[in-house]
Amino acid sequence: MQTVPEKNRSANNWQRIVIKVGTSTIVDAAGDIKYPVINRLAQTLSQLQKSGYEIILVTSGAIGVALQQMKMVKRPTDIPSQQALAAIGQSYLMAIYNQSFAFYQQHVGQVLLTYDVFNNKQMLKHTIDAIEAMLAQHVIPIINENDVIAVDELEHQHSFGDNDRLAAIVTHETNADSLIVLSDIDALYTANPFIDATAEPIAVVTQVTPELMASASGSSDLGTGGMATKLYAADYLMAKQRQMVLINGKNPATILDIVAGKAIGTLFKGV
Ligand SMILES: Nc1ncnc2c1ncn2[C@@H]1O[C@H](COP(=O)(O)OP(=O)(O)O)[C@@H](O)[C@H]1O
Ligand SMILES: N[C@@H](CCC(=O)OP(=O)(O)O)C(=O)O
């Protein structure tokens, strides 16, 4: 595996960090909610916040959590059923986060967004103002897509499609220093390692090439985006001179290592 010299990771002067947590970090393959992982995430983010970092959490998992609550094994295909699950799961997801963060005396606030917010100057300003106000009060904003109303209509795009894209846009619009994406995989591999046993992890990506895009196929059972949407997010950020790090979410304390400048996962950073 290619190694990155520590000095190439400019993590030490980060101030504002967006963390994106995928469904696979919140819910396991059997559909059970990973309470200890969520607790560790809350502990880690609270610790960072108390050390002076500004933290924004973008979380998936509403539908995954709701499937467990409603004792359903498969995600329904029709939109209203998915909207209903998102409504059920989002409130429970926030209840879990509230309880987990409260243990570390960390306040959080819920922000639910649709794509059109970012296409409307005034709505965008209101959203950013609210996020800035929370950060100024040492509150961690917890963002998800508003899946109840984010249903695309003809000529009107409400939906981000996936939370990797949402997280990348939030990173840019809030002028954050980096996006850290937590998934069920240690890094970007040369091919999907669940399919190709010869796949090798990639430590640094300086450009998202068509070959890299072609290497991304499939997602975890409940994840919607898969690796392709993470590559689109990285490409979007690199075009804006920002960076992204992909790590395994099984131990969220790894975020502390990333912030300390350790070379873990895949770093996406333009040259
Ligand atoms: N080249 C690749 N490298 C790593 N993972 C890949 C690759 N191609 C496809 N994948 C798949 O992407 C999955 C992660 O995406 P996803 O399931 O959407 O996770 P999340 O819910 O964390 O967003 C991995 O579990 C793996 O199955
Ligand atoms: N907004 C949806 C998640 C959508 C999504 O992109 O999921 P994932 O690929 O796991 O990050 C939810 O909360 O269920």
Q: Ligand 1 centroid vs 225 CA: distance in angstroms? A: 8
The verdict on the CB of residue 223 being under 6 Å from ligand 2 is yes
Return the ligand 1 atom nearest residue 220 CA: 17
Q: Is residue 270 part of a domain?
A: no
Q: Is residue 269 part of a domain?
A: no
Q: Is residue 189 part of a domain?
A: yes
Pocket test for ligand 2, best of 37, 93, 144, 162 (most atoms within 8 A of CB): 162
Q: Is residue 178 part of a domain?
A: yes
Q: What is the pTM of this model?
A: 0.93
pLDDT string in tens for the chain (271-residue length): 333 344 444 455 899 999 999 999 999 999 999 999 999 999 999 999 999 999 999 999 999 999 999 999 888 989 899 999 999 999 999 999 999 999 999 999 999 999 999 999 999 999 999 999 999 999 999 999 999 988 776 666 777 778 999 999 999 999 999 999 999 999 999 999 988 999 999 999 999 999 999 888 766 666 566 899 999 999 999 999 999 999 999 999 999 999 999 999 999 998 8
The verdict on the CB of residue 162 being under 6 Å from ligand 2 is yes
The verdict on the CB of residue 44 being under 6 Å from ligand 2 is no
Q: Is 182 helix (H, G, I), strand (E, B) or coil?
A: strand
The verdict on the CB of residue 226 being under 6 Å from ligand 2 is no
Binding residues for ATP, by number, are 20, 183-184, 224-230
Ligand nearest to the CA of 228: 1
Ligand nearest to the CA of 184: 1
> CATH number, domain at 105?
3.40.1160.10
Does residue 61 come out as left (phi exceeding 0), alpha (psi in the -120 to 50 range) or beta? Answer: left
* Structure ipTM: 0.96
The pLDDT assigned to 7 comes to 41
Ligand nearest to the CA of 82: 2
The verdict on the CB of residue 94 being under 6 Å from ligand 2 is no
Residues contacting residue 122 through CB under 8 Å, at least 6 positions apart: none
The verdict on the CB of residue 183 being under 6 Å from ligand 1 is yes
End-to-end CA distance of the chain: 20
**Helix (H) or strand (E) run with residue 55 in it:** strand 54-59
What gap in Å lies between CA 132 and CA 111, rounded to an integer? 12
Q: Is residue 1 part of a domain?
A: no
Q: Is residue 118 part of a domain?
A: yes
Q: Is residue 108 part of a domain?
A: yes
The pLDDT assigned to 181 comes to 98
Q: Is residue 62 part of a domain?
A: yes
In total, how many domains does the chain have? 1
What gap in Å lies between CA 219 and CA 192, rounded to an integer? 9
The DSSP output letter for 57 is E
At 145, list the tokens. 């897509």
Q: 243: domain range?
A: 6-263
